[in-house]
Amino acid sequence: MTVTDDGDPLSEKQVAVLTAGTISEYDDPAISFGYPIVSFLVDQYGGEVTAHRTDGETRVTVSLPRVREAGTPSQRHGLEPAAIRDVTVAALLAGAAMGAILQAFANTIPVIGSLYGVGSVAVGWVTHLFHSLVFGVLFAAALRRPALRERVDSLGTTVGAAVVFGLALAVVAAGFVMPLWLTADRRRTRPSRPRRLPVRRRRRCRTP
């Protein structure tokens, strides 16, 4: 951004304060506080201020770097649309790979569908991919926390954390959640035994 002033040109002290922020060297009450404030703000965002005095006018140019992010990390919450898209694709691909292994070696995809009352392959695939998507979004949201963001800050660490999370999830889901869920569902759907009423026997009277 460039601003041109055709009034009184800036003095050398004002130009030095504006472009270099050397307020300590020119501690002059005649210099407005606006000059160091502009210099400090531009320097805070990594910019640069240049000033040129030509033909009785002063041209001040402020240059700031372009950033793709809408704000500082502390001001953002949740996941960006691009992150949600990447997580969705990665979660569905990982779920499809895991589902293919379960279907080929253990044939447990229908068992996943039976968790919701329908023990079919189609329902099992739909619910399995839905679970993968949900846990993938939860994993990405967990990585947004400052404590994890500092440690998982590269592609290698992200892939490693995803592998550990997937293995832990598989152990917990297949080893504990599914057996407990199926046991509870069988008890709920088990038909109750008919209640037997006591049968009274009639005594026969013998005639003399």
| Maximal C-alpha separation, the chain | 149
Q: pLDDT category, 206, cuts 50, 70, 90?
A: low
What is the separation of C-alpha 135 from the centre of its chain, rounded to a whole number of angstroms? 11
Q: How far is CA 159 from CA 74, 97, 130, 142, 151, in A?
A: 25, 16, 21, 14, 12
Listed in order, strand segments (DSSP E) in 35-185 are 48-54, 57-63
pLDDT at 74: 45
Q: Are 103 and 109 in contact (CB under 8 A)?
A: yes
pLDDT tens for 104-116 read 888 888 888 878 7
Q: What is the pTM of this model?
A: 0.50
Q: pLDDT by residue (tens digit) across 141-179?
A: 888 887 787 788 788 888 888 889 888 888 887 778 877
